[in-house]
């Protein structure tokens, strides 16, 4: 089940909210757990056992780590190896086999297995919970139903943000419910829905057309790169908005996952703004435990490269993701050594152009099936192989999608937010906002009914 579907919007969500608010507070977590498992079962029925098994493992080892202090490190290692082992098997086993087969003559048969939806997200939540219990940063949860509810909570279950136990530890026990908070949740959800259905999916339509074209002009490659970069932002940030909005409706406060990453003035700044829950997860549970930057320069370089190779692999079991991770890792090292100091003195407009160009190329790598396609798409931006600057076909698609691209560019910056925050405009916005949100909901629903939408891009991770 996905948020941008009739089943979720008009059946699952309303029924869940009605029952949730009808029952007494002591039963709300039970209702959320049941709803979350049903939500997951609807989309991935054969892997509900995997989630339940993982929850039981996490619960038991959490108790053991807390109770037996002397053996806690051993229990932590065993638990993480077990849980991450499940992720390795389901997500990376065929990637490993493929690479072994490329080296040895005796070929190993591939294992035909589907990737469980959202496994990268909920496994990371389990790992962070166990590590936080081990460190003493979180109290062990002795109620298995509450552990299960935390891990399977449907708003963030499938595509994040990666919610840490320490963030909602107190909220699991007691949450605040107000009309204002609920209405803010509805507002955030509708905005996220609009970003997904009305912007990301339309840009995805353009990308699909471009990929199916034999066009080779410079304008074609720039259209493909820009629309792809904007699509993934509005798709993923739209999901995060919807998840945060749903959390508010249910009384939770999830941390932000995006902060206008396309206005960043460096790659370092970009990763403070993009997929914040993932970058901070790797910082706190991989980079710092390895020693961070408080080690020799060689070890510091090692730590950064390990983190970014893992970040790339987290996104997918393919070499383009490894290259994508290394690409960012090397650029961050260069920025930390000397380029960062230069960028601070550079006019912001130039620093932002540099960052956008680097990020745009990164998403070409991210979406590339092989090195040939990646190099062709990057080379095309700069007119490699003497291709024409523009063609009738690329010009036609630019004219056809110019408005949505312009809206996307403006929407990826805080320009509208800053305008809306001025006193005079703010009063006007407050008056028309309910009508505007209703309009977005109606148009988005029309697109969904028409079938003009697609699953979230991050579902595959």
Catalytic residues: 315
DSSP string, 388-456: -S--HHHHHHHHHHHHHHHHHHHHTSSHHHHHHTSHHHHHHHHHHHHHHHHHHHHHHHHHHHHT-----
Cβ pair 380, 295 in contact under 8 A: no
The CA-based dihedral angle spanning residues 385, 390, 393, 396, taken in that order and rounded to the nearest 10 degrees? 150
DSSP H helices in 136-195: 144-152, 154-157, 165-173, 179-194
Give the E-state strand segments of 332-384 in sequence order.
none
Give the number of other Cβ atoms within 10 Å of residue 301's Cβ.
16
Helix 218-249 × helix 371-381 angle, to 10°: 110
Burial class (CB in 10 A: 0-12, 13-18, 19+), 138: buried
- Enumerate residues 6+ apart whose C-beta is below 8 A from 50: 86, 90, 116, 119
Name the nearest CA neighbour of 133 among 73, 173, 87, 174: 73
CA distance linking residue 193 with residue 440, whole number of Å: 8
Give the number of other Cβ atoms within 10 Å of residue 99's Cβ.
11
Cβ pair 168, 252 in contact under 8 A: yes
What 64-72 contacts at long range (C-beta under 8 Å, 24+ apart), as own/partner pairs, is: 65/130, 65/133, 65/134, 65/140, 66/133, 66/140, 72/134
CA distance linking residue 212 with residue 216, whole number of Å: 12
CA distance linking residue 423 with residue 131, whole number of Å: 46
Give the number of other Cβ atoms within 10 Å of residue 268's Cβ.
16
Name the nearest CA neighbour of 369 among 403, 420, 320, 331: 320
Q: In degrees rounded to 5, what are phi and psi of residue 442?
A: -65, -45
Cis peptide before 161 (omega within 30 of 0): yes
- Three-state DSSP at 318 gives coil
């Amino acid at each position: 089940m996905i948020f941008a579907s009739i089943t979720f919007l008009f059946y699952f969500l309303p029924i869940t909210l009605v029952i949730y608010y009808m029952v007494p507070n002591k039963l709300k977590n039970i209702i959320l757990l049941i709803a979350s498992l049903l939500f997951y079962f609807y989309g991935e029925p054969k892997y509900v056992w995997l989630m339940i098994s993982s929850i039981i493992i996490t619960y038991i080892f959490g108790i053991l780590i807390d109770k037996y202090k002397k053996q806690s490190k051993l229990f932590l290692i065993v638990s993480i190896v077990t849980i991450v082992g499940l992720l390795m098997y389901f997500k990376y086993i065929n990637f490993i086999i493929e690479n072994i087969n490329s080296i040895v003559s005796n070929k190993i048969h591939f294992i035909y297995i589907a990737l469980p939806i959202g496994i990268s997200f909920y496994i990371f939540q389990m790992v962070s919970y166990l590590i936080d219990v081990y460190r003493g940063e979180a109290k062990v949860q002795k109620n298995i139903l509450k552990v299960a509810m935390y891990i399977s909570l449907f708003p963030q279950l499938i595509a994040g943000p990666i919610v840490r136990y320490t963030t909602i530890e107190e909220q699991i026990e007691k949450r605040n419910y107000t009309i204002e908070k609920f209405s803010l949740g509805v507002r955030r959800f509708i905005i996220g829905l609009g970003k997904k259905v009305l912007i990301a999916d339309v840009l995805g339509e353009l990308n699909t057309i471009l990929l199916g074209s034999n066009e080779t002009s410079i304008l074609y490659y720039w259209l493909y790169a820009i629309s792809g970069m904007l699509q993934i932002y509005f798709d993923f940030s739209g999901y995060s908005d919807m998840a945060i909005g749903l959390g508010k409706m249910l009384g939770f406060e999830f941390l932000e996952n995006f902060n206008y990453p396309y206005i960043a003035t460096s790659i370092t700044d970009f990763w403070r703004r993009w997929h914040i829950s993932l970058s901070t997860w790797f910082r706190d549970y991989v980079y710092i435990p390895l020693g961070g930057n408080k080690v020799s320069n060689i070890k510091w370089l090692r730590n950064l490269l390990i983190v970014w190779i893992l970040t790339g692999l987290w996104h997918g079991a393919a070499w383009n993701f490894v290259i994508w991770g290394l690409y960012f890792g090397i650029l961050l090292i260069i920025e930390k050594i000397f380029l960062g100091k230069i960028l601070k003195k550079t006019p912001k407009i130039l620093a932002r152009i540099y960052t956008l160009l680097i990020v745009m190329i990164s998403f070409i790598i991210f979406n590339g099936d092989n090195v040939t396609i990646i190099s062709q798409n990057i080379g095309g931006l700069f007119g490699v192989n003497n291709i024409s600057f523009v063609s009738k076909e690329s010009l036609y698609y630019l004219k056809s999608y110019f408005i949505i691209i312009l809206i996307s560019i403006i929407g990826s910056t805080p320009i509208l937010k800053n305008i809306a925050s001025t006193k005079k405009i703010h009063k006007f916005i407050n008056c028309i906002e309910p009508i505007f949100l209703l309009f977005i909901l109606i148009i988005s629903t029309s697109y969904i009914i028409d079938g003009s939408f697609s699953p979230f891009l991050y579902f595959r991770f």
